């Protein structure tokens, strides 16, 4: 099978789902297909739809916190790809409210993960970011020999309810960087 590039995956999802901007692209500033780490979150938020990309440069607190954690841990942009278990926006058309991904959303979104994995020949570690992303663990375990771990979601809700969450994420990211094979 031909190695599909990330841009082609995004276009395929848009065509399959009859969507447009609701499926943001990968951030071109990241390593993407050449990355060793794949960070999988739940679903794009309104700022990702607004900017057109899944990025820790997006103007929202969760994105900024995630970028800060990676920087403190010493993980560089060229080492990462960031994507979502459900790659399309689950909010209202006004972009003012987002709902949590349900089991059906996750199942439909996971259909595209094999393409993402196939496009990443250097992939060593998949980090499932938050509870919703963890629902894909067993599915992913059957597709790849890459190491699969999970971390806290960088949302302010999680950070405010668990004072150690950010510190634990940074410690995990540092450990992954030190032990990647």
The pLDDT tens digits for 121-174 are: 999 999 999 999 999 999 999 999 999 999 999 998 988 899 999 999 999 999
CA distance 28 to 7: 10
List the beta bridge partners of residue 129.
Answer: 151
Whether 29 is covered by a domain: the verdict is yes
Position 36 scores a pLDDT of 98
More confident residue, 92 or 175: 175
Whether 1 is covered by a domain: the verdict is no
- The answer to whether 31 and 83 are in contact (CB under 8 A) is no
Which structural domain, as residue segments, surrounds residue 26?
Answer: 6-179
> For position 170, which CATH number holds?
3.40.470.10
Position 4 scores a pLDDT of 64
The pLDDT tens digits for 37-94 are: 999 999 999 999 999 999 999 999 999 999 999 999 999 999 999 999 999 999 877 7
Whether 10 is covered by a domain: the verdict is yes
Q: Is 14 exposed, middle or buried (0-12, 13-18, 19+ CB in 10 A)?
A: middle
Whether 156 is covered by a domain: the verdict is yes
Output the pTM of the full model. Answer: 0.94
The pLDDT tens digits for 88-110 are: 999 877 767 788 899 999 999 99
Other Cβ atoms closer than 10 A to 107: 15
Position 181 scores a pLDDT of 64
Domain tally for the chain?
Answer: 1
């Amino acid at each position: 099978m031909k190695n599909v590039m990330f841009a082609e995956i995004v276009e395929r999802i848009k065509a399959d789902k009859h969507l447009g901007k609701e499926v943001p692209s990968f951030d071109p500033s990241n390593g993407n297909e050449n990355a060793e780490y794949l960070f999988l979150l739940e679903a794009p938020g309104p700022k990702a739809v607004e900017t057109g990309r899944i990025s820790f440069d997006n103007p929202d607190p969760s994105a900024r916190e995630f970028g800060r954690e990676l920087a403190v841990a010493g993980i560089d942009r060229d080492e990462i790809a960031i994507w979502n278990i459900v790659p399309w926006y689950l909010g209202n058309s006004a972009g003012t409210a987002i709902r949590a991904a349900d089991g059906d959303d996750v199942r439909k979104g996971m259909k595209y993960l094999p393409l993402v994995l196939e496009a990443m020949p250097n992939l060593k570690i998949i980090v499932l970011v938050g509870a919703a992303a963890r629902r894909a663990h067993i599915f992913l375990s059957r597709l790849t020999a890459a190491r699969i771990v999970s971390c806290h979601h960088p949302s302010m809700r999680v950070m405010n309810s668990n004072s150690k969450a950010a510190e634990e994420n940074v410690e995990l990211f540092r450990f992954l960087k030190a032990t990647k094979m």
